[in-house]
Amino acid sequence: MRRPEEAFDFPSVRARESVASEKGPGTNRGQKGRVTGFAVGIDWLTATFPLARLEECSVTDLTQVADFIFGGSAMLKVMRPTGRKFQFYDNYCVILDREGELAGRICFGGNNDTMQVELTGTGCHWVQNWSHVHFQLEILCARITHCDVAVDDFAGVAVGIHQLNDAARSGAFAGQGRPPKTRFEDDHGHGTGCSVYVGSRNHKQFCGYEKGKQLKDETSPWVRFEVRFYAKHFGKENEFGELPSRGVPLDILLHPLRFFRGAYEYLADLCERIGLTDATNKLLVVKAKVEATANAMVKWLRTQVGPSLRVIRDALGEDAWEYVDKNVTREGRPSRWKSIGAADQLNQLVRQQLCPVSM
């Protein structure tokens, strides 16, 4: 069932994983009060499997599929079938997370009697045990067709986005074959964040981008490195020199950093230099999102409604907040706070960011 050696088709993986695993993130440093460190995790997952295998596991209701594969602790909710086509399937259901945000899809109907389960980055955040997912997909004889591995550098100490672009342009991501195409998206100093792309979708693609600035915090140093793996990149050549598609090995769910390091020699060297180990920390990602979003919210408040609030405060004095609470605030959360993944911890984390001294 398991293929621990053959699972990694990259030559640099086995040579480097033992070196990096002996080190810890000793270069974690950053601005005072900011979230520091690194986090590694799965940020997208698409898997297909025979519908018959699901029935053999006594899963006969679509609403049970998400719990069966991802565990009940993820608290993912499968909605009713839409009756619309998606990709190569005749029908699909939307998966929502506990905050009501889109977390993925379950596609079925046709396509050689298979089912496709797709989990977005938002949905992956809620998975508590990837070993469980690995085991369940193995039972289903599933084939991973798309999986993203993300490495977050919250303090931006590994490599700057412009240095990353220089490395890409100089051919640092080139392998034994044709050098991959590269692309750089520059924000031209507007603070919305730059992005570096290497390779192409549906094969293998690296993307490095300023995640904190994407969340509208212009001062955030947070950089995310992401490798997007697709099924057609994996396989062994047959007698005709072809590369039959086997799918991304299921072991990527257990050891995402090994695949990240093995994707490009440049990334292997980068991980070795910063001493990045095969570890995950979802709480760090959530805190970083809250930090960037809170900073952006405060800036927006100061710019858009700061003067108006000042007039109310000057006019009403101590009664100003009572008036604002009664006549201005309302139920709900702004869109910027959706997909944060903090759930019941949101208020506490926002309080820690806005009033760190009082905590």
pTM of the model: 0.76
Q: How confident is the model at residue 11 (pLDDT cuts 50, 70, 90)?
A: very low
In terms of C-beta density within 10 A (0-12 exposed, 13-18 middle, 19 or more buried), how is residue 131 classed? exposed
Does a structural domain hold residue 101? Answer: no
Share of the chain above pLDDT 90, in %: 53
Choose the most confident range, by mean pLDDT, from 53-62, 271-280, 333-342: 53-62
Output the pLDDT for position 13: 36
Rounded-to-integer distance, Cα 347 and Cα 292, Å? 15
**Is pLDDT at 34 greater than 50 in this prediction?**
no
Does a structural domain hold residue 302? Answer: yes
Output the pLDDT for position 335: 76
Structural contact between residues 145 and 47, judged by C-beta atoms closer than 8 angstroms: yes
Structural contact between residues 59 and 65, judged by C-beta atoms closer than 8 angstroms: yes
Between 63 and 349, the higher pLDDT residue: 63
The domain of 343 spans: 284-354
**Is pLDDT at 32 greater than 70 in this prediction?**
no
Q: How confident is the model at residue 30 (pLDDT cuts 50, 70, 90)?
A: very low
Say how many domains are in the chain.
1
**Is pLDDT at 276 greater than 50 in this prediction?**
yes
Query: Could you give the 3-state DSSP secondary structure of residue 88?
Result: coil
Output the pLDDT for position 9: 37
Between 2 and 254, the higher pLDDT residue: 254
- The pLDDT tens digits of the residues spanning 280-296 come to 666 677 777 778 788 88
- The pLDDT tens digits of the residues spanning 205-230 come to 999 999 999 999 999 999 999 999 99
Q: How confident is the model at residue 85 (pLDDT cuts 50, 70, 90)?
A: very high
Does a structural domain hold residue 156? Answer: no
Q: Which of 286, 155, 164, 290 is nearest to 226 (CA)?
A: 164
Does a structural domain hold residue 41? Answer: no
How crowded is the C-beta side of 32, counted as CA atoms within 13 Å? 2
Output the pLDDT for position 47: 97
Which residues, in sequence order, are CB contacts of 76 under 8 Å at separation 6+? 66, 67, 70, 95, 96, 97, 98, 103, 104, 123, 126
Output the pLDDT for position 12: 36
One-character DSSP codes across 20-86: HHT---TT---STTS--SEEEEEEEEEEEEEHHHHHHTT--SGGGHHHHHH-GGG--EEEEE----B
**Is pLDDT at 359 greater than 60 in this prediction?**
no
Q: How confident is the model at residue 269 (pLDDT cuts 50, 70, 90)?
A: very high
CA 22 from chain center: how many Å?
25
Between 128 and 175, the higher pLDDT residue: 128
Average pLDDT, the chain: 83
- The pLDDT tens digits of the residues spanning 96-117 come to 999 899 999 999 999 999 999 9
Mean pLDDT along residues 255-263:
92
**229 strand-pairing partners:** 147, 204
Does a structural domain hold residue 295? Answer: yes
**Is pLDDT at 23 greater than 60 in this prediction?**
no
Q: How confident is the model at residue 235 (pLDDT cuts 50, 70, 90)?
A: low
Does a structural domain hold residue 91? Answer: no
Does a structural domain hold residue 260? Answer: no
Does a structural domain hold residue 292? Answer: yes
Rounded-to-integer distance, Cα 235 and Cα 258, Å? 17
Output the pLDDT for position 254: 92
Structural contact between residues 171 and 179, judged by C-beta atoms closer than 8 angstroms: yes
Q: How confident is the model at residue 200 (pLDDT cuts 50, 70, 90)?
A: confident
Mean pLDDT along residues 159-173:
95
**Is pLDDT at 16 greater than 60 in this prediction?**
no
In terms of C-beta density within 10 A (0-12 exposed, 13-18 middle, 19 or more buried), how is residue 111 classed? middle
**Is pLDDT at 357 greater than 60 in this prediction?**
yes
Helical (H) or strand (E) element with 130: helix 130-139
Output the pLDDT for position 274: 86
